[in-house]
Structure 1
């Protein structure tokens, strides 16, 4: 239920999200390995808090999405741009100084922990905005991790098809994370271009009017510029941070709808999306860092709803938040042992 208090809620708790890019940037300045350790440390701490305080739920949603909540997301675009620029500079300096290439990989993983867990999450939220500026910023963030096609596939593909076998981003019952990853990577890319071609044909436009085509060219130009002006170190850093960011995105996609499936009725019509078709986890601290993404059922039911107003709905509940579930999903037998009883209970309650 939405909080109807007359005093608008403060976005201050969501500003905690800024701690991650800032601390990873400071750590990277000291040593590439510290950047990786800091990003991993955030995930471990959040997972431990989720485990130690399972009943610590988020405060009620805000009564209205004031400009301050949007500013939290927009400011991250600046923090991420600065962090990526710093990463490139440090990677080049490290290799030019005779340092290890493995340290560049560690730096990429550290920065990718930010661009994946927060940059993609905030791009997702900005892309759901009705503001053209916010949607453009979403494209920019996704382009920075070389995954611009998400901006087509997620909104035109995943949302209509979530919790169905037609959706490459919905994990099936008994499918491990490691089997899911190649299927969703290939399927999402192909689906995005197919959806874009269908829309261009419907609007009678050529590919020169395609935002996806231009974004893809921009990504290729970015990689060429990195190789030309920063050399192998800059290119390796960027590719590693992008790859890890995409891994985090798709790993969370795996968690969000695992094993949940909408029924097919007479005439092949899909059951409408309901609260029972997404996994939720209402942990306060994690939701501060990822813009209430764990209130996932409400997000799918009301896709244009701003993140501070999302409600904690009584749908299927994860055993812990996303940070902890990343560790569980990485070990398939453990994931299945924990999730399958919950999935059976969710199906029985549906």
Structure 2
């Protein structure tokens, strides 16, 4: 392991800071989260040298440390949700909403990102951890749709999680939320039929049941006022988390398309995903911003992903989340970049 690889320990810093903030000042936790978010965006954009991450690990190097970072994060997320729930049920309704935002920001930005990475692993332990993280934000269908739906269809019209040229974030969100949900359950039903299995053996069904129990059991066994606050907290943090995921989905393939002449999709290439190599965001998000290489080699562990010279975002994901929320500014910045791509006329023609 190289000294530069210690940067991935930042993955633990954000949940730990959030736990401390909720314990000490629960009513102000949302402000702390906003300060951290905007601080990361500013570091990405303006800190000298922050626009380039260290080189990837060489192939064949030990990856035990990198997997341990992700696996131990799962325990931190459980502690974070428990801390948030305790603060929510003992606070007023503004505290419930603020704490839910703080927890959901972490479970969405990091929890879902790490679940995504763990789900790509060949290890059953890792995949179980991925399911656990996604169940904790009521978005278990991602564990089916992402691998069997999004990866084959990314940057095509068939993919609900790929944003089209000129499509605002607010038009994209309803399409991807419903489309990804429907696709995930349809793909699981097809798998069950293909292998003559049953829903009783479906991890998606058990994930959905587990998420449901986190609403039902408090309603059955906690006092009414406590149960209502817990349920509201859990629903709000889950909503923040999966909305954050879908905003990132919007960013990752916006306006980029693979051709499908003769009904056959063009092979996924470096030009079909937006990339950013900003060191702070990449350290917090397991190199997710090296997105072209991830799609071209979905089996590669995050520490080995390359920074490829494909389409480049104006800044890291932390800043792009803010830009995407302002469609005129987003279109202004991104359409200039699309028009400057080497094969822009051909790519734009795919949208016509």
Using the TM superposition, give the Cα deviation of residue 339 of structure 1 relative to its aligned residue in structure 2, in angstroms.
Answer: 0.4
Q: CA deviation at 1:209?
A: 1.7
User: Which 4+ stretches in 1 moved above 4 angstroms?
Assistant: 7-10
Provide closer, same or farther for how the CA distance between residues 283 and 237 of structure 1 changes in structure 2, counting only shifts above 3 A: same
Partner of 1:234 in structure 2?
A: 230
RMSD: 1.4
Tell me, in whole angstroms, the C-alpha distance in 1 between the residues paired with 2:313 and 2:206.
Answer: 38
State the distance in 2 between where 1:183 and 1:85 align.
32
1:81 to 70, 78, 81: 78
CA pair 15-271 structure 1, distance change in 2 beyond 3 A: same
> In 2, are the aligned partners of 1:9 and 1:62 still within 8 Å (CA)?
no
Find the partner of 2:129 among 113, 137, 143.
137
Identify the residue that residue 117 of structure 2 maps to in structure 1: 125
Could you tell me how far 1:9 is from its partner in structure 2? 6.6
What is the aligned partner in structure 1 of residue 305 from structure 2? 310
CA shift, 1:345, in A, is: 1.6
Q: Distance in 1 between matches of 2:4 and 2:252?
A: 28
Aligned to 1:296: 291
Alignment partners' CA distance in 2, 1:165 and 1:264: 10
Number of equivalenced pairs: 338
Q: Distance in 2 between matches of 1:215 and 1:54?
A: 43
Aligned residue number for residue 261 of structure 1: 257
SS in 2 for 1:346: coil
Aligned to 1:278: 273
Tell me, which stretches of 5 or more residues in structure 2 are unaligned? 348-352
Deviation at 1:93, TM superposition (A): 1.5
TM-score by length of 1: 0.94
Question: TM-score if structure 2 supplies the norm length?
Answer: 0.93
Runs (5+) with no aligned partner, structure 1? 1-6, 95-99
Q: What is the distance in 2 between the residues matched to 1:137 and 1:69?
A: 15
Give the corresponding residue for 1:195. Answer: 187
Whether contact under 8 Å (1:278, 1:296) holds in the other structure is: yes
Query: C-alpha displacement at 1:36, in angstroms?
Result: 1.2
Task: Say whether 1:218 aligns with 2:214.
Answer: no
Matched residue, 1:3 = none
Distance in 1 between residues matched to 2:280 and 2:4, nearest whole Å: 15
